[in-house]
Structure 1
Amino acid sequence: MPAATIRQTIPPVSDSETDGATEQMTSRSVLDSLLESGLHEMNRERSGLLLSGVSAGLDIGFGPLMMAVVLTLSPGGFGDLTTELLLASVYSIGFMFVILGRSELFTEHTTLAVIPVLDRQASFKQLGRLWGLVYVGNLVGGLLFTLLVILLMPELGVVDPQSFETIALKLVDHDLPWLFVGGVFAGWLMGLLAWLVTAAQDTTARILLVLIVTGTIGLLHLPHSIAGNVEVLFGLLVSPAITLTDYAGFLVLATLGNAFGGAVFVALLKYGHVVRGAE
């Protein structure tokens, strides 16, 4: 039964049940907001979705760039606590630009765009259209950002090309099953972020949520298909240690893992518990 129908049949809540119902009402409110946002994005023009995806792909590149700057300037490296925390913090910068700037990010839509399909207000064809346009836009934006930085890098003077190789190897130097499973966790966290940001009441709370959630992805070095696209592209273009096969394998498995994690562990489970809890 669609959530809209269920909400119409909910009986009044007695005073004795108020405390227990408050949290559930908040969850329904969040679900409604996500449902409305998802439907809005599905109905946007192709060009608007594609350009928004390109914008997100460009903006998110600042995270990997700042990671390379930190690795270049820091006396430590991966494994050093201070450096790891700094890297996780600057990794979040690109996500802040994208999420607070309301650009379209594929990994957010592994939850956001799935909810209207679960609610039977959108089709899988519409979901595929949205995912395809946003995903392609994100990849194109990431490629453009990477090429711009490669051109500017000699004049920047604060980035060692070796740093890009180090960051890329941290993502591709794994067995293929790990890339998928790690991608599931990254997609799970990004879907959870979409839910939490919608529930947050102010900009400060949203900034903290983005910092905590995406910083966790950075600290664990989980494969995020869009930010990781930029990280591995940097390595591919500046280092012979990163091959096109490494890049393709990372992108395919990280994308599949991200989609599975956001769709199943957030969209499906949270939609199910809110709708069933309302019955």
Structure 2
Amino acid sequence: MTSQNVLASLIESGVHEMNREWSGLALSGFSAGLDIGFGPLMMAVILTLSDGGYGDLGTELLLASVYSIGFMFVILGRSELFTEHTTLAVIPVLDGQASAQQLSRLWGVVYVGNIVGGFIFTLLVVVLMPGLGVVSPEAFGTIANKLVSHEPEWLFVGGVFAGWLMGLLAWLITAAQETTSRLIIVLIVTGTIGLLHLPHSIAGNVEVLFGLIMSTSVTPLDYLVFLALATVGNAVGGAVFVALLKYGHVVRGGN
């Protein structure tokens, strides 16, 4: 598939999503917020059952791999994820086929759905999982602290890189032709986010909520600062480093 074809497909998808009923977008965003939580949950299970931890290469690679599970569920299941739309929904605006108001509506509905879905998933895990004996409260706190222990400027810059990678993911998934290749792309890109511990606003929402509810070391202020800076960083990364640059080079004849 040529770069022009990829761009045309992204524009078509973005316009389609902007024209959907808000209730459909909200339900899709809610579903994505639920599904993506399986990645952070599996990370907590691995940390509970493994003798290793952060800093151990084998454990880090395994954690990055299971982090990708939630993204596979969301992306291959065609649910709406805010961080994909930092590129997907921006390109139709750049092309003049959608307005900034439509973009704001899409971002707002999908984002709220993602956050609420992640909150409900977290509550379900907190209520149901301890009885199974496969995950400990300490593991949830360890995962959350890995994100909130950084300085605010790192959260923003790290969020930019995470948004950049998610924008690339949206572009590459559109270019890929087969389910197997799409699975590999999701594993590589989101596994990179997990291995670098970059702040992804939607998956990180679940990670930090786990720590807020299950650990005394994470405060409501920690959660709000993380969510705000990660969200803004993700939006900048996807919109500037992928949507703007790739749209610019394709419409100027790049192939």
TM-score category of the 2 structures, normalised to the smaller one? over 0.9
Measure, in 2, the Cα distance between the counterparts of 1:176 and 1:140: 24
User: Identity of counterpart residues, as a percentage?
Assistant: 80
Matched AA of 2:98: A
Superposition CA RMSD, Å: 1.0
| CA shift in 2, pair 1:82/1:32, >3 Å | same
Find the aligned partners of 2:147 and 2:67 in 1 and give their Cα distance: 14
Bigger drift between 148-157 and 110-119 goes to: 148-157
* 1: CA distance, partners of 2:245 / 2:253: 12
Task: State how far apart, in whole Å, the 2-side matches of 1:274 and 1:156 are.
Answer: 52
Residue of structure 2 equivalent to 1:100: 76
After TM superposition, the score normalised by the length of structure 2 is 0.99
Equivalent-residue separation in structure 2 for 1:266 and 1:92 (angstroms): 21
Q: Which residue identity is paired with 2:41?
A: L
Instruction: For residues 221-270 of structure 1, give each alpha carbon's deviation from its aligned partner in whole angstroms, at most 9, with x where no partner exists.
Output: 00000000000000000111000000000000000000000000000000
Residue 16 (structure 1) aligns with: none
Q: Does structure 1 residue 244 correspond to structure 2 residue 244? A: no
Partner residue of 1:253 out of 229, 233, 240:
229
Letter in 2 for 1:33: S
Q: Which runs of 5+ in 1 are unaligned?
A: 1-24
1:221 is matched with which residue? 197
Q: CA offsets, 1:11-62, max 9 Å, x none?
A: xxxxxxxxxxxxxx70000000000000000000000000000000000000
Find 2:24's aligned residue among 48, 55, 58: 48
* Alpha-carbon offset, residue 278 of structure 1: 6.0
**1:232 counterpart = 2:191:** no
Alpha-carbon offset, residue 160 of structure 1: 0.7
1:145 paired residue number: 121
Greater shift, 146-155 or 50-59, is seen at 146-155
- What residue in structure 1 maps to residue 238 of structure 2? 262
In the alignment, does 2:152 pair up with 1:196?
A: no
Partner of 2:143 in structure 1? 167
Does residue 153 of structure 2 align to residue 185 of structure 1? Answer: no
1:67-93 Cα shifts (integer Å, max 9, x gaps):
000000010000000000000000000
- Distance in 1 (alpha carbons) for counterparts of 2:214 and 2:84: 30
Q: Which amino acid aligns with 1:70?
A: I
Does the alignment pair 1:31 with 2:7?
yes
TM-score normalized by the length of structure 1: 0.90
Q: What stretches of structure 2 of length at least 5 have no aligned partner?
A: none
Structure 1 CA distance for aligned equivalents of residues 102 and 136 of structure 2: 43
Q: Distance in 1 between matches of 2:130 and 2:157?
A: 37
Query: Which residue of structure 1 lines up, in the alignment, with residue 59 of structure 2?
Result: 83
Residue 253 of structure 2 aligns to a residue whose secondary structure is helix
The list of structure 1 runs, each at least 4 consecutive aligned residues, that deviate by more than 2 angstroms after superposition, is none
SS in 2 for 1:174: coil
Structure 2 vs 1, CA of residues 154 and 37 (structure 1 numbering), >3 Å: closer, same or farther?
same
Once the 2 structures are TM-superposed, how far is the Cα of residue 153 of structure 1 from its aligned partner? 2.0
Superposition deviation, residue 180 in structure 1? 0.2
What letter matches 1:158 in structure 2? V
